[in-house]
Amino acid sequence: MKNDKLHQSYNELIKKNNNSAILIFENGDIFFGFGFGATGQKIGEVCFNTSMTGYQEIITDPSYNKQLINFTFPHLGNVGTNSNDNEANLSYASGIITREPPSQSSNWRSEYDFNKWLELKDVIGIYGIDTRQLTKYIKDNNAPMGLICYDKTRKFDFPSLQDKLSKHPKLKGSDLVPNVSTKSIFDWQDRTLNVISRRDKIKKNNNNIHVVALDFGIKQNILRCLKDIEVKVTIVPFNYDFERIKALRPDGIFLSNGPGDPLATYNSIKNNFDKILTMNIPIFGICIGHQLLALACGAKTKKMTQGHRGGNHPVFNLMNGNVEITSQNHGFNVIEASLPKDLLVTHKSLFDDTIEGLEHVSKPIFSVQYHPEASPGPHDSKYLFEKFYKYMI
């Protein structure tokens, strides 16, 4: 009876304010707002991103699979959307949360209005929520699961939605890589959009150098950055057979970013993945690729309370004393106390001292937790692609 009265009061509030969208949490807390983008309902872990630009790249990043993104920056949509800025052809995010309704687009590169683009990508949006309050809520509740629902009829079956949310799998323990990885092998040709590239540091065209990239949810700009170092790039599925990888005769292996629990992914590919480390060729990992390398070497990972997501994360490079301003998107990290002796910590977060980079002491293997290809303004971390290149020549 108590819940019936509560749901009745919710419906009265919705009717009064003309709310067309809601955000529900497992403990029964509800945020009311207004919908945009696609209609319907989706479930995901609710996280927050502090970036002030790059909303299109963020929403199409496959690492956001099964997540609801709360944008702390209030104005989204002002530059519209275009085909060049997608990090993947599809969007895997469950939905987005904003303070203000989408801004009217005003940019010469814009091809689609942001709201229309969200509809095409089947991404649900909700605005009219105090995103600062929600960010504190996410932090205090350790990135809880939530359900977003946009219904233009303003009719919400609260008991049914709450039941559906309570039965949904949590992110911890979920192997989400199969949802986003390529199903077939292919070569990549496009370079970055920057007219000023790093090719002045590459002495000659080396398309005979071959990089095989394992796709755990790879961003297209990573592939562009790899192509910028003048190498042949072949993308293969995350679980591509080791003998087939060897048959491609790679000079280097790249391990991409991706969503979900790295331990769940590692357990599903362990026998095949461990063999890659025996090839004695350079290996470069980013994000979940970094975590998978650590797990394969004997380290452990854990779920973070709120994760790192944004374009303004300072990282300290222990090798040269520099501070890099980085773009990040991860909810798991490598446990430092679990590191084996053959892994050296090269980078640390200046926010919480978590590991941001690792290197093998005797093999040409290194990795970073952040995204050196994203360039959220500075290009502080592009040197990592050059490092990978130098290891291969």
Give phi and psi for 172, each to the nearest 5.
-65, 125
Question: Do 85 and 280 form a contact (C-beta atoms < 8 A)?
Answer: no
For residue 100, what pLDDT band results from cuts at 50, 70 and 90? very high
Residues 215 and 289 in one domain: yes
pLDDT (0 to 100) of residue 232: 96
pLDDT at position 50 is: 96
We report the CATH number of the domain holding residue 120 as 3.50.30.20
Percentage of the residues of the chain whose pLDDT score is greater than 70: 94
Are the CB atoms for 212 and 232 separated by under 8 Å? no
CATH code: domain of residue 282: 3.40.50.880
- If asked whether residues 197 and 157 sit together in one domain, one would say no
- By the 10 Å C-beta count (0-12 exposed, 13-18 middle, 19+ buried), 19 is classed as buried
Span 33-65, pLDDT tens digits: 999 999 999 999 999 999 999 999 999 999 999
Burial of 249 (0-12, 13-18, 19+ CB in 10 A): exposed
172 in a structural domain: no
Instruction: Please report whether residue 171 resides in a domain.
Output: no
Task: Tell whether 106 and 212 lie within a shared domain.
Answer: no
Residue 20 lies in a domain: yes
pLDDT of residue 195: 43
Quick one: tokens of 158?
């609260």
Q: Which of 141, 166, 191 marks a domain boundary?
A: 166
User: What is the overall mean pLDDT for the chain?
Assistant: 94
Active site residue 386: no
How does pLDDT run across 125-138, given as a tens digit for each residue? 999 999 999 999 99
Looking at residue 5, its pLDDT comes to 73
Q: Where residue 8 falls among pLDDT bands split at 50, 70, 90?
A: confident
| CB contact set of 114 (below 8 Å; sequence gap of 6+) | 55, 76, 77, 80, 81, 102, 103, 105
Q: Is 80 left (phi over 0), alpha (psi -120 to 50) or beta?
A: left
- Dihedral angle over CA of 264, 185, 194, 284, nearest 10: 50
Number of domains in the chain: 2
- Say which of 290, 308, 347, 371 is annotated catalytic: 371
Q: Do 123 and 102 share a structural domain?
A: yes
Percent of the chain with pLDDT over 90: 89
Q: Which domain holds residue 382?
A: 177-392
Claim to verify: residue 236 and residue 186 sit in the same structural domain: yes
Give the residue ranges of DSSP H helices in 297-337.
none
Catalytic residue, candidates 87, 287, 290, 308: 287
Residue 199 has pLDDT above 90, yes or no: no
Indicate whether 189 and 156 sit together in one domain: no
Are residues 108 and 49 part of one domain? yes
Which pLDDT does position 205 carry in this prediction? 55
Q: What is the pLDDT of residue 376?
A: 67
Picking from 105, 134, 166, the residue at the C-terminal end of a domain is 166
pLDDT for 372 beyond 60: yes
Does the active-site annotation cover 313? no
Q: Are residues 217 and 310 in the same domain?
A: yes
Angle in degrees, CA 282, 286, 288, rounded to 5: 115
Please tell me whether residues 191 and 301 are part of one structural domain: yes
Sheet strands side by side (includes 210-215):
186-188, 232-237, 210-215, 252-255, 283-286, 365-368, 355-360, 343-349, 301-317, 323-334
Question: Could you tell me if 120 and 222 lie in one domain?
Answer: no
Is 336 inside a domain boundary? yes
User: Does 274 reside within a domain?
Assistant: yes
Answer yes or no: is pLDDT of 196 > 50: no
Instruction: Work out the average pLDDT over 280-288.
Output: 97
Co-location of 160 and 192 in the same domain: no
**Is 235 domain-assigned?**
yes
Residue 154 located in a structural domain: yes
Q: Are 37 and 101 in contact (CB under 8 A)?
A: no
Do both 98 and 213 map to the same domain?
no
Query: Is 371 a catalytic site residue?
Result: yes
Of 166, 198, 215, which one is at a domain's C-terminal end? 166
The residues that bridge with 345 in the sheet, in sequence order, are: 358
